[in-house]
Amino acid sequence: MASKEKNIDIEFLRAAALLMILFQHAEVLVSGSHQLYWNIRDHLNLWGSVDLFFCVSGFIITRGLIQTFPPGPGEERYLISRRLGWKHTAFAFWVRRAWRLWPAAWLWIVLSLACALWLNRSGVFGDVGRMARDGLAAFVHLANFHWAGCYLQDLATCNMMPATRFEAHLPTGWNLAVYWSLSLEEQFYFLVPLVLFFLPKRWVAAAIGLSLVGLGLLSRDPMGVLWFVRVDAILVGVAIGWYTHERDRRAVVSGPPAWLRHRWLIHLLTIALLLAIGWLGAGDRGGRPGTISAIALCSGALVWIASFDRDALVPSQALARAFFVWVGKRSYCIYLVHMVVFFVTIELWYRAGGVHSTGQWVAFFLTPVVMLPLLAEATARWVETPLRRHGHERAKVWLLPPAPDMGVKR
């Protein structure tokens, strides 16, 4: 990978995944009368775009750990160095991730609770007590297990409530459900430095291979328990991060394969793989054995292309390029904000008397289009970015070698 601050193709993949998620979750804004939307959803169910995020995370985190803690002489059996010891290695990583991710996530948990208390005349935010339980699970990074339990037992035990005061396709109150994927990633962040530190390379390779084979044999229905702990794409991303680091270190190739040097071909392949992710998740295909593994492999193909860092995926047209890069860089904050914005939109228009004319529908859909980028940018500038920098400073102390034992021998 070229030595650049940002891999623009990775930012494009984040943007593509985020836009697919926004389209998927726009179902809370769309009533049953909007047949075009539901016709598209019959053929393209875009929940697999989260797996693309997972694959990107596995790739970025693995490469970053190997580059930050490269194995030294005598450590060739391991992926990362053991020189600092596991505590310094793991805590340096954990401190950076915590300051990067937790404050913004916690902020929007609190704001969701505030909306349930004071901006909930329509009932769109559900019950305050139930949302508090959802928020607690998200706060401690166990939201995936929490929501798996909700779907396994009774959605009424969580903040999923029928919309009795306005027309809605789905139950209300589940804006914190999106934290299930963030919790799964946090669990990955907790484990990955320990796994790469303690396990030799061959064990890591065996674990990834056997896990992918085993997972591919499972039926995992959408919203089933196993659906909330799907790690296929993360494992594929880890493997790509490891492979591409070795590829670049050994200079096996000087660039992408010849057939990937044609931008038009890469764009066609990218569109085909993104459509495949949506097609695999639609209809009854989502619960079949191998579907989630196939989505992970499609995501892996996109991440592998992006790993060459040649700006091949992102559009060359300046305005489109700037849009995708901005969305990619702000994807985390947009993801945190979007469901709250969708629900606030419903609440505001409920208070305004509802949406009845074509002009009102246009204004209704423009409301989140305006609110979402403003709130995401504010969160990124005033919360995520300064605290991420603070986290990098706090992590530096863990990058220092542990002090030698100065005790006097007797």
Residue 91 has pLDDT above 90, yes or no: yes
Q: How confident is the model at residue 2 (pLDDT cuts 50, 70, 90)?
A: very low
Least confident of 44-48, 155-159, 200-204, 323-327: 155-159
Average pLDDT over residues 202-219: 96
What integer pLDDT is reported at residue 135 of this predicted model? 97
Alpha-carbon distance 21 to 369, whole Å? 14
Beta strands in 1-158 (DSSP E): none
Q: What is the mean pLDDT of residues 247-261?
A: 69
What is the distance between the alpha carbons of residues 159 and 151, in angstroms, rounded to a whole number? 11
pLDDT band at 254 (very low <50, low <70, confident <90, very high): low
Task: Report, as an integer, the average pLDDT of 2-27.
Answer: 90
User: What percent of the chain has a predicted confidence (pLDDT) above 70?
Assistant: 95
> How many other C-beta atoms lie within 10 A of the C-beta of residue 123?
20
pLDDT score of 52 more than 80: yes
Distances (CA, A) of 72 to 82, 87, 195, 204: 8, 18, 18, 18
How big, in percent rounded to 5, are the helix, strand and coil portions of the chain?
Answer: 70, 0, 30
- Residue 318 pLDDT grade (very low, low, confident, very high; cuts 50, 70, 90): very high
Q: Identify each DSSP E strand in 346-399 by its residue range.
A: none
pLDDT at position 292 = 97
Q: Are 162 and 126 in contact (CB under 8 A)?
A: no
**pLDDT, tens only, 348-396:** 999 999 888 989 999 999 999 999 999 999 999 999 999 999 999 999 9
Q: What is the pLDDT of residue 352?
A: 94
Span 7-30, average pLDDT: 96
Instruction: With both helix axes pointing from N to C terminus, report the angle between 8-25 and 291-306 in degrees, rounded to the nearest 10.
Output: 140
> Token match 């060459």: residue?
308
| pLDDT interval class at 3 (50, 70, 90) | very low
| The pLDDT of residue 96 | 97
Count of other CB atoms within 10 angstroms of residue 290: 17
Is residue 408 predicted with pLDDT exceeding 90? no
Which pLDDT value is given to residue 33?
65
pTM for the whole structure: 0.94
Residues sharing a CB contact under 8 Å with residue 138, sequence separation 6 or more, in sequence order: 105, 109, 146, 176, 179, 182, 183
Q: b/e map of 126-145 (b: 16 or more CB within 10 Å)? A: bbbebbbbbbebbbebbbbb
Residue 167 binned pLDDT confidence (cut-offs 50, 70, 90)? confident
Which H or E run includes 186?
helix 179-198
Range with lowest mean pLDDT among 166-175, 218-227, 342-351: 166-175
For residue 410, is pLDDT > 80?
A: no
Query: How would residue 261 be classed by pLDDT, with cut points 50, 70 and 90?
Result: confident
Looking at residue 108, what is its pLDDT? Answer: 98
